[in-house]
Every structure is written in C-alpha cells, then in structure tokens.
Amino acid sequence: MKQFLVLAAVLGLVAFGCAERKAVAPTQSQEMQQPQTQTPEGSTKAQEKITEQQMAKVESKDIHSKFEEISGMFKDIYFDYDKYDVREDAKQTLKAVADHLRKNTAQKVLIEGHCDDRGTSEYNLGLGDKRAKSAKDFIVSMGVPSSRIDTISYGKEKPVCSEHAENCWAKNRRGHFVLLKGK
Amino acid sequence: MMKLRIGHRSKLPVRRRSQSSIFFLLLPLFILYFSLFTIVEAKVYIDIASPAVRKLPIAVPEFGGTGGRELSDIIRDDLDFTGIFVCLDRNTFIESSSQPFNAKNWTVIGAEAVVKGTVSGAKNLVATVSLYDALEGREIFRKEYQTDASLLRPLAHTIANDIYRQMTGEPGIFRTRVAYVVRKGEEDSISLADWDGHRAITLGIKGNVILSPHWSKDGSRLIYSSERIRQWGIYLLDFKKMSETKVFSAKGTNIAGDFFPDADEFIFSSSMNGNQDLYTYRVSSAKLNRLTSSRGIEVSPTLSPDGSQISFISDRDGTPQLFIMGRDSHNSRRLTFNGPYNTSPSWSPRGDRIVFSGRQGGKNQVFTISPDGSGISQLTDRGNNEDPSFSPDGRYIVFSSDRDGEKAVYIMRANGEAQKRITPKGLRVFGPRWSPN
C-alpha cells in the first residue's frame, strides 16, 4: 500500500507540475514523523528535509489507592510452585481473616496474589489472580459475603525476597492480606 | 558487483492486483511519467528473501565536514547490525570521502559498494551523500539532506534507510523506535527510544505496575495495562493528541494484547468472569467479545499480521504452553511440546515465525517457532530472556534479559546473532516493543 501511495504521489507531481514535498507526506503516523524517501528509485538527484515532532508529556492521574490500608494484621499464606490451591498450613490464617470480618462488619479485606519470579510476567499475573481467588473462596465458604473481599494479582512484580533460591521463591509465592477502611 | 537477484520479485504485479481499478485510471500518467524520465527499475543488489544471503562488502569512509565522522559512524553501525553487509575496516581505505571516486581504489580492498558524504553548516546541517557501485564504477544514488543539528542521529538513520532500500529493495527499520517499561522503586513508567537505544525519552505515563505496551499497526496508538488504585486497567496512549485514556477496566486482572490491523480493536486477557480468559474490545464502540471460557489460565494473546489467527498461552494441559486458534476461537491446537513452561508469544509481522520465552535448564530463553509447530529454534542461552517481539520487518527481535545483572533491553537478529544491550546500566527495564514505523 505504501508503495502504491508513493507511486500515486509521484504521478501526482507529474500531473500537476508541482514539487511541493507536503503533497507526498505519509498519510499514516504523522506523529512519529518518519519522513519517507519519496524519490523514484534510480533517480540520481534528490533532496529531503528531516524533521521530528516534539512530544508533549502525558500525565497519568489517580495512581494511588483512596482507601486507608492496614497491612500486617494477618500473616501471609503460601502456595506451592505453579499451584493455586489453598494449602493446609494456610487455613488457620484464612479462618482468622474470616473471624475478623464477621466481627468488624464495616471493614473489607483485599487479598493480593503473588508469585515467584521464575515465570514470565503475564502468566504469573494469571497465577496470582487464581491464588487470591482461591483464598477468597475459602473465606467466603466460612460465611463472609463475597462483596467484602477484593482480590488483586501482582504476579511476580512485587517480590518480598530477591535471591534466586527455593527458600526465597517460597516466600514470594504468597497471599497477602490488606484491611481496607473507609472510602 | 555480484548481482544477487535470485528470486527477486517485482512489486508491480502485486500492486496491479490489489489496486487494479485505480491503477488503470492512472495508467496513462504512469506511461507519461516513465517516458519523460526514463526511469528503469532499480537493481536489487542483495535479495534478502533468499535463504543464503552472501554478505555484501561495503565501505563507509568517514564523511567530510563537522559531524561527518559521527554521521558516517551511525550509518556504518546501522548497516553492520543487519548482518547482510560487511562494513570494511577504514584503516584499509585508500581514498577519502572528499577525494573523487575512483572505483579501482575500492575494488582493490574488496569493496563492492561505497557510501561517501560531506556535511556542511553548523545549526542547519546539509549532508550530501553518494552511493557507488564499485564493480561497475558508477554512482547509483545521490541525495542532499537538510536538518537541524540536534537531529543528527535521525539524519544518519534516514540515510541508512535510503542505502538499505537501494541495495535490497526493502524499507529499512533504522528510524523505528522501541517502547519499554522502566521500574524505579515502587513506580513504573514508559519510555521511548530509537531502535538502537539512543535518544530515550520518558512519556510521562506512570503506574504502580505497568506491563508490556502494544503498538497499533499505524504507530499512532499504544495500549498497556497498568495497576492503579488497586485495579488493573487497560490504558491507551494516543500519539496524535499525546493523551492517555483508560479504555477498559473490570474487577480482575486485565492484560492488554495486540491490536487488530485497524488500530481500533484489540485482544486482551481478563479474569473479570472468574478465570483468566481471552476477549476482544473495540475502542470506538466499546464492544466486548468473549473468545474463550476455560477453567485454566489463558493469557498473552498475539495476533497473526492479518488478524485472522491468535496465538496464546493456556495451562489447560497442566503447564503453560503456546496454542493457536482462529479469530472466531475455533480450531484451537497446541503449538509447543518442548519443555514444561512456554510463555509470552509474539507473532512476526511477516507471519512466518512466532517468538516466545521458554524454560530451559531453569532459565527463560527466547525461542522462535513456525505457526505450524515446526522449526523450533533457541536463540539465547545466558540469564533469563523474556518479553520477546519482532521488528516491523521481522528481521530482528527485541527482548529483556537479566544476563548482565538488572533487567535490560536487548536486540538481536531473528536468527539470534548480534545480541546487543540498548538500555543503560543502572536502569531496570522490561517489556520492550518495537514500533511498526
């Protein structure tokens, strides 16, 4: 298609006897400012002016949480490698979270699902999502309304331990609990 | 000069087929044009489509004038990286850029093509560049370039593109860029650099976590996932307006994939309905379409160049593996059987290969595979190598690696040669994506 545009543009020059370079400006991606060489192949004389548009800065808004967040009230729970089912040793913590939510009906909990860093980003986000949800399902099965538990996956993006060894990986494969108060 | 024209295809018949009606309308003008200027179809010196390309020996002597050395160095480095030229050692040159071209001075040192040039001006640069066929002893290309002195690198890349096109008949990628994610402390941001890593700028986009961005085919848009306010949203950067908008958000993990060819619809994965499944979303009409509904994890969808096929990751067989299916989600089949962990596929813009990251000996390595599952090839072997994707001409691959310490961006040829770091030491960088133009 680009070839065709060039051809059309060249023909246009002949037809209208006009050598205005703007006439052959690429139609796509003018923002990227990639001036194409619009000279016919085999030509021995050609000119080109190279320009580039200055890019304005974009500003991202609303990045940080609006809730009052309390971390550390509950122990992290841990998962096996590439698994997302709740382990026996996690059940005591999950029961404590369920008890707390039943007693404090104005509070919510956010469960973060995390992974070790051996996999790749996106698959690990899927795995962390599954881990947070299986922890949530367990708490819901203890009688806490589903609406009071949020989940989020951080995959391997927020490790607590950065060495490349099993004891460190095991610490990163975790579910982390954050209490949310107010709005 | 060696005339490597094996299998060279003229572009004309293709044009005629696809645009026949307009073509015939323009035919009289076409004939007029060619009779007036007697342009002959350019000779192709290197047929890069040929499986066994002989490297063409090219001489790029230092250009004359202020900035001439830097300009000619960048051109030489661009051509050298392609692997289809051998840039000859300047110490062996007999003739300088300012001396008149004498073919014998070049054939004697083995050069088949010569690029000469001079630069004048201080703030406004004017560069005159000539390309010679040393074997036939004639100039095959001459052009005058003008630019601001601050744009010396884009000037050099433009010249390299012209030389590349003259020699191969194909467009070069030397003015393309790479977008990537920079991680500093607890905050991620997106940067944009030239393909060789120079002239990096930050775009101002920030998030607690940002994932690998994806370009629209026309280069005017970038989509990426970002975690903000404890939610995974899909955001779109419009380069025409230089503004960011949140295009999709739902409870769960929402991860942007490739754009379809029309730059309005994209594919993504989301756990909004419980499990991580694949969906498409049209930006202008906000139309959501669900493609898969499995019990497992399905992520990282990538599209064939025409948008008719989808490659993605699924753990439906127990471990994460590459699969392929049609755009209608039918005819799903597994693509990878090597090793227990294959992820992050990205389709070549030429359609013939898919690049991905696979576990080998406890580390993640970059592999390519044919969409029919044949011809698997391992391209890296040091450190963890992730997030691979192709250049717009499918000849190079960009990826992230921790081989030298912190994660950084690297580029290489699509066969694994010439692996080179393009981001600076001390900067933690990942998720690179090559711009389409």
Chain B contact for A58 (CB, 8 A cutoff): yes
Q: Which of B209, B410, B207, B300 is nearest to A159 (CA)?
A: B209
Which of residues B141, B175, B209 is at a domain's end?
Answer: B175
Same domain, residue pair A143 and A115: yes
pLDDT digits (tens, 9 = 90+) for B116-170: 999 999 899 999 999 999 999 999 999 999 999 999 999 999 999 999 999 999 9
Bridge partners of B396? Answer: B413
Calculate the CA B184 to chain-centre distance. Answer: 26
Nearest CA in chain B to A81: B319
Backbone angles phi, psi at B244, to 5 degrees: -110, 135
Residue A4 sits in which domain range?
1-58
Provide the shortest C-alpha distance from residue B236 to chain A (in Å): 11
What pLDDT score was predicted for residue B26?
54
Check whether residue B200 and residue B132 sit in a common domain.
no
- Interface contact B151-A15, CB threshold 8 A: no
A64/B contact by beta carbon, under 8 A: yes
Whether A96 and A31 map to the same domain: the answer is no
What pLDDT, in 10s, does the model give residues B413-433?
999 999 999 999 999 999 999
Residue A52 near residue B148, CB atoms below 8 Å: no
Distance between CA atoms of residues B78 and B154, nearest Å: 12
CB < 8 Å to B143, chain A: 37, 39, 45-48
Kindly identify which residue of chain B lies nearest to residue A127, measuring between CA atoms. Answer: B297
Q: In this predicted model, which residue has the larger pLDDT, B35 or B218? A: B218
Please give, rounded to a whole number of angstroms, the shortest distance from the CA of A27 to a CA of chain B: 10
B322 and B369 share one domain = yes
The whole-number average pLDDT for the span A133-158 is 96
Q: What is the total count of domains within chain A? A: 2
Do A82 and A130 fall within a single domain? yes
Q: CATH number for the domain including B184?
A: 2.120.10.30
Half-sphere exposure of B165 (CA within 13 A, CB side): 21
A-interface mutation test, from B299, B322, B360, most A Cβ less than 10 A away: B299
Residues 6+ apart with CB under 8 A from B295: B275, B316
Best of B129, B230, B336, B365 to substitute, by most chain A Cβ atoms within 10 angstroms, is B230
Compute the distance between CA of residue A53 and CA of residue B154 in angstroms, rounded to an integer. 12
B98 plus B233 within the same structural domain: no
Distance from the B89 Cα atom to the nearest Cα atom in chain A, whole angstroms: 27
**Same structural domain for residues A125 and A153?**
yes
Residues A52 and A118 in one domain: no
Pick from B157, B175, B193: which residue ends a domain? B175
Instruction: Among A40, A49, A58, select the one facing B204 at the smallest CB separation.
Output: A58
Contact call for B211 and A59, based on CB within 8 A: no
The Cα–Cα gap between B351 and B304 comes to: 6
Distances (CA, A) of A162 to A115, B43, B336: 12, 56, 30
Q: What does the mean pLDDT of chain A come to?
A: 79
Instruction: Please tell me whether residues A101 and A26 are part of one structural domain.
Output: no
| A137: phi then psi, degrees, rounded to nearest 5 | -55, -40
Regarding whether A9 and A35 lie in a shared domain, the answer is yes
Place of tokens 């391997």: A156
Same domain, B366 and B274: yes
- Helix (H) / strand (E) element for B144: namely strand B138-148
- CATH code of A167's domain: 3.30.1330.60
CA-nearest residue of chain A to B314? Answer: A123
* Helix (H) or strand (E) run with residue B37 in it: helix B20-37
Whether A49 maps to a domain, the answer reads yes
How is chain B split among helix, strand and coil, in percent rounded to 5? 15, 40, 45
Q: Are B82 and B58 in contact (CB under 8 A)?
A: no
Q: In this predicted structure, what is the pLDDT of residue A133? A: 97
Arithmetic mean of pLDDT over chain B: 91
Q: So what's the pLDDT on residue A32? A: 40
* Same domain assignment for residues A54 and A140: no
Distance between CA B9 and CA A7 in Å, rounded?
17
Q: Residue A52's pLDDT is what? A: 87
Its domain, for residue B413, covers 177-434
Contacts of A123 in chain B (CB under 8 A): 297, 299-300, 313, 315, 320, 343-344
- Paired sense of beta strands B138-148 and A47-50, if any: parallel
Residue A97: is its pLDDT beyond 90? Answer: yes
Both B135 and B234 in a single domain?
no
Instruction: For residue range A28-40, list pLDDT tens digits in order.
Output: 333 344 444 444 4
Asked if residue A162 is part of any domain, the answer here is yes
Predicted local distance difference test score (pLDDT) of residue A62: 73
SS3 track for B256-268 = EEEECCCCCEEEE
What's the structural domain count of chain B?
Answer: 2
Do B93 and B15 share a domain, yes or no?
yes
pLDDT for position B22:
52
Least CB–CB distance from B145: residue in A14, A48, A152:
A48
- Do B249 and B343 reside in the same domain of the chain? yes
All residues of chain A having their beta carbon less than 8 Å from the beta carbon of residue B203 are 55, 57-58
B4 pLDDT above the threshold of 70? no
How confident is the model at residue B17, as a pLDDT?
43
pLDDT, average across residues B356-379:
96
Which of A58, A82, A103 finishes a domain?
A58
Do residue B247 and residue B108 come from a single domain? no
- What's the one-letter identity of residue A149? I
| Amino acid at site B220 | S
Is the model's pLDDT at A88 over the cut of 90?
yes
Q: Is the CB of residue B33 less than 8 Å from the CB of residue A9?
A: no
Q: Note whether B182 and B163 are same-domain residues.
A: no
- Please check the confidence at residue B299 and state whether its pLDDT lies above 50: yes
pLDDT value of residue B357: 98
Q: Are residues A133 and A166 in the same domain?
A: yes
- pLDDT number for residue B53: 75
Q: Which residues of A touch B148 (CB under 8 A)?
A: 51
Select from B191, B253, B406 the residue whose CB has the most chain A CBs within 10 Å, as the one to mutate to test that interface.
B253
Q: Say if residues B156 and B75 touch (Cβ distance below 8 Å).
A: yes
What does the angle CA A113 – CA A129 – CA B258 come to, to the nearest 5 degrees?
125
Contact A176, A114 (CB under 8 A): yes
The answer to whether position A63 is within a domain reads no
Distance from C-alpha of A101 to C-alpha of A149, rounded to nearest angstrom: 9
Do A74 and A161 fall within a single domain?
yes
Distance from CA of A123 to the nearest CA of B (A): 6
Work out the end-to-end distance of chain A between its first and last CA atoms, rounded to an integer number of angstroms: 53
**pLDDT above 60 for A4:** no
Integer Cα distance of B266 and B286 in angstroms? 11
**For residue A65, what pLDDT is reported?**
67
Strand partners of residue B365 = B358
Backbone φ and ψ of A122, nearest 5°: -70, -45
B239/A63 touch (CB, cutoff 8 Å), yes or no:
no
pLDDT of residue A182: 65
And the tokens for B21? 């009606």
pLDDT tops 50 at residue B7: no
Can you give the CATH number for the domain in which B79 is found? 3.40.50.10070
| B257's tokens | 């994939």
Cβ-nearest to A44 among B142, B230, B269: B142
Report, in angstroms and rounded to the nearest whole number, the Rg of chain A calculated over CA atoms: 29
Question: B181 and B169 in one domain?
Answer: no
pLDDT band at A13 (very low <50, low <70, confident <90, very high): very low
Residue B276 has a pLDDT of 96
Domain boundary pick from A58, A81, A105 = A58
B93 CA to chain A: closest CA distance, Å?
25
Report the predicted TM-score, pTM, of the whole model to 2 decimal places.
0.85
Q: Measured between CA atoms, how close is A39 to chain B, in angstroms?
A: 10
Pair (B347, B359) in one structural domain: yes
pLDDT of residue B216: 97
B64 lies in the same domain as B106? yes
